[in-house]
């Protein structure tokens, strides 16, 4: 039986990719962010999961509104890097896991979640902006991407995202290989990218969300999209994807690390939570 | 109360915001389809070489073309352009998200950046 060892909630942002590619990680403006990922990178290295499931959203790079999936699951052996409109970043393609991917598809559908099953799914900054901060290349671990529609309303409810996490946990428990899995939920914390409210951030709300995510996630599943958008900015509705990660963990969790930094356009949040039914190596 | 209580874009207005609803997606479909095509480097080259001819390939209306020509990001978003796709138009033209945002707020880039908590941190410009 496979097990989920823990989860990570993290912002994603094109600016993180830009800072990484321009080597700005030691500059005054970016150092706090890059340093913040150190302990989580170390934790991943120590615990060495065999697979990482990543919940994210595609930013109009793989999917268009001609047929926009509410949930999309990448089951291919390889996930190529997307050209988002300014050229592909210089990274190797991600490795997938077709066997686990198809198992996950079967288990999710049996549990009444019906993702679009993708044998090709190019990856954009929803995953790739933060992946190099979590591990070094060559990529050490296969990735199963699950894209959620958080762009074109109606988008799934916060509660639905949380229940998806529970269904993922169930699928992992049914898998007949003895592997250890980490799950990551990505999405910008407070931010708004359009209109006169461009640049809106709400540090207090972001931290309230991080508190509740750890100890009382049910509270966050009761909120509407309007609640999220009003408190964090319209594009921050992405935060509901962190609930999928949390739904896949044990009810009680151990905090490995938490970090927050909001310098420019968005609250960069990061939290790593260990499952309490797992014996972890000493920190 | 809406028939869809958890749904956005109708229950209450979010101030100064344009939630990307089905209605907006429907109206902005052609515009977004044109902009999405710029994820291909050959298409970016063709658009830069002759903007009008390229937009004609996607059958944009005069109103739509005028907003693109004017680089009027606020108008494009209000109309039904999706911000994640409009950044591809801007990027193709060498305009950054920060510049788009400052324009939408009616500020210069420097004035906008001065409002940021990290404004005092030295950012290398390159």
Q: Confirm or reject contact between B115 and chain A (CB < 8 A).
A: yes
Domain for residue B8, yes or no? no
Range of the domain at B28: 22-107
Domain for residue B116, yes or no? no
Mutate to test the interface with A, among B2, B12, B14 (most CBs of A within 10 A): B14
Confirm if B92 and B99 have CB atoms less than 8 A apart: no
Query: Rounded to 5, what percent of chain B is helix, strand, coil?
Result: 55, 0, 45
Q: Confirm or reject contact between B1 and chain A (CB < 8 A).
A: no
Q: Confirm or reject contact between B37 and chain A (CB < 8 A).
A: no
Domain for residue B115, yes or no? no
Q: Say how far residue A116 (Cα) sits from the centre of its chain.
A: 18
User: Residue-wise pLDDT tens for chain A (283 aa)?
Assistant: 899 999 999 999 999 999 999 999 999 999 999 999 999 999 999 999 999 999 999 999 999 999 999 999 999 999 999 999 999 999 999 999 999 999 999 999 999 999 999 999 999 999 999 999 999 999 999 999 999 999 999 999 999 999 999 999 999 999 999 999 999 999 999 999 999 999 999 999 999 999 999 999 999 999 999 999 999 999 999 999 999 999 999 999 999 999 999 999 999 999 999 999 986 554 4
Domain for residue A215, yes or no? yes
Say what percent of chain B tops pLDDT 90. 80
Residue B48 CA to residue A50 CA, distance in Å, equals: 45
Task: Enumerate residues 6+ apart whose C-beta is below 8 A from A161.
Answer: A55, A148, A221, A240, A241, A243, A244, A247
Residue A153 CA to residue B7 CA, distance in Å, equals: 8
Confirm if A59 and A124 have CB atoms less than 8 A apart: yes
Higher per-residue pLDDT: A179 or B7:
A179
**pLDDT tens digits along B91-111:** 999 999 999 999 999 999 999
Q: Which chain A residue's Cα is nearest to B84?
A: A59
Range of the domain at A104: 3-275
Domain for residue A138, yes or no? yes
Confirm if A119 and A75 have CB atoms less than 8 A apart: yes
- Encoding tokens for residue A133? 């901060």
Nearest CA to CA, how far is B28 from chain A (Å)?
10
| pLDDT above 50 for B55 | yes
Out of A28, A151, A196, closest to residue B82 by CB: A151
pLDDT at site A79: 98
Domain for residue B16, yes or no? no
Confirm if A245 and A9 have CB atoms less than 8 A apart: yes
Domain count across chain A: 1
A51-56 and A143-148 strand pairing: parallel
Nearest CA to CA, how far is B9 from chain A (Å)?
8
| CATH number of the domain residue A19 falls in | 3.40.830.10
Residue B46 CA to residue B23 CA, distance in Å, equals: 30
Nearest CA to CA, how far is B71 from chain A (Å)?
14
Domain for residue A280, yes or no? no
| CATH number of the domain residue B99 falls in | 1.10.700.10
Domain for residue A50, yes or no? yes
Domain for residue A144, yes or no? yes
pLDDT at site A75: 98
Domain for residue A35, yes or no? yes
Chain B partners of A27 at a C-beta cutoff of 8 Å?
121-124
Q: Which chain B residue's Cα is nearest to A58?
A: B84
A184 — phi, psi (to 5°)?
Answer: -125, 130
Smallest CA-to-CA distance from A128 within A193, A215, A174, A59 is with: A59
| pLDDT above 80 for B126 | no
Output the pTM of the full model.
0.96
DSSP label at residue A123: B
Active-site annotation of A, residues: 125, 191
Contact A193 B97 (CB under 8 A): yes
Residue B86 CA to residue B75 CA, distance in Å, equals: 11
Mutate to test the interface with B, among A83, A226, A243 (most CBs of B within 10 A): A226
Domain for residue B99, yes or no? yes
Rounded to two decimals, the ipTM of the complex is 0.94
Q: Confirm or reject contact between B2 and chain A (CB < 8 A).
A: no
Residue B122's pLDDT band (boundaries 50, 70, 90)? low
């Amino acid at each position: 039986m496979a097990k989920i060892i823990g989860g990570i909630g993290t912002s994603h942002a094109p600016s993180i990719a830009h800072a990484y590619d321009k080597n700005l990680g030691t500059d005054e403006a970016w150092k706090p962010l890059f340093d913040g990922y150190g302990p989580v990178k170390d934790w991943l290295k120590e615990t060495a999961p065999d697979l990482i499931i990543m919940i994210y959203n595609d930013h109009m790079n793989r999917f268009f509104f001609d047929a926009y999936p509410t949930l999309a699951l990448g089951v291919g052996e390889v996930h190529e890097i997307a050209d988002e409109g300014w050229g592909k970043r210089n990274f190797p393609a991600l490795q997938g896991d077709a066997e686990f991917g198809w198992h996950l598809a079967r288990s999710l559908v049996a549990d009444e979640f019906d993702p679009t099953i993708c044998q090709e799914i190019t990856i954009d900054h929803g995953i790739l902006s933060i992946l190099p901060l979590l591990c070094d290349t060559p990529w050490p671990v296969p990735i199963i991407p699950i894209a959620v529609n958080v762009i074109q309303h109606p988008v799934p409810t916060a509660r639905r995202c949380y229940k998806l996490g529970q269904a993922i946990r169930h699928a992992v428990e049914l898998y007949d290989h003895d592997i250890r899995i980490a799950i990551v939920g990505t999405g910008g914390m407070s931010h708004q990218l359009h209109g006169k409210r461009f640049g809106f951030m709400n540090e207090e709300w972001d931290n309230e969300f991080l508190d509740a995510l750890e100890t009382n996630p049910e509270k966050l599943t009761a909120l509407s999209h309007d609640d999220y958008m009003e408190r964090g900015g319209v594009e921050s509705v992405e935060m509901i994807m962190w609930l999928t990660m949390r739904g896949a963990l044990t009810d009680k969790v151990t905090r490995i690390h938490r970090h927050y930094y909001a310098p420019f356009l968005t609250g960069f949040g990061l939290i790593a939570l260990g499952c309490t039914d797992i014996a972890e190596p000493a920190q | 109360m809406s028939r869809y209580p958890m749904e956005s874009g109708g229950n209450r207005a979010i101030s100064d915001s344009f939630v990307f609803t089905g209605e907006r997606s429907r109206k902005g479909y052609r515009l977004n389809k044109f902009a999405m095509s710029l994820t291909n480097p050959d298409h970016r080259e063709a658009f830069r070489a002759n903007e009008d001819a390229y937009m004609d390939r996607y059958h944009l209306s005069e109103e739509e073309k005028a907003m693109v020509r004017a680089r009027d990001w606020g108008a494009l978003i209000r109309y039904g352009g999706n911000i994640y796709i409009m950044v591809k138009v801007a990027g193709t033209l060498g305009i950054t998200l920060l510049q788009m945002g400052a324009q939408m707020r009616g500020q210069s880039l420097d004035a906008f950046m001065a409002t940021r908590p990290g404004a005092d941190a030295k950012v290398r410009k390159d």
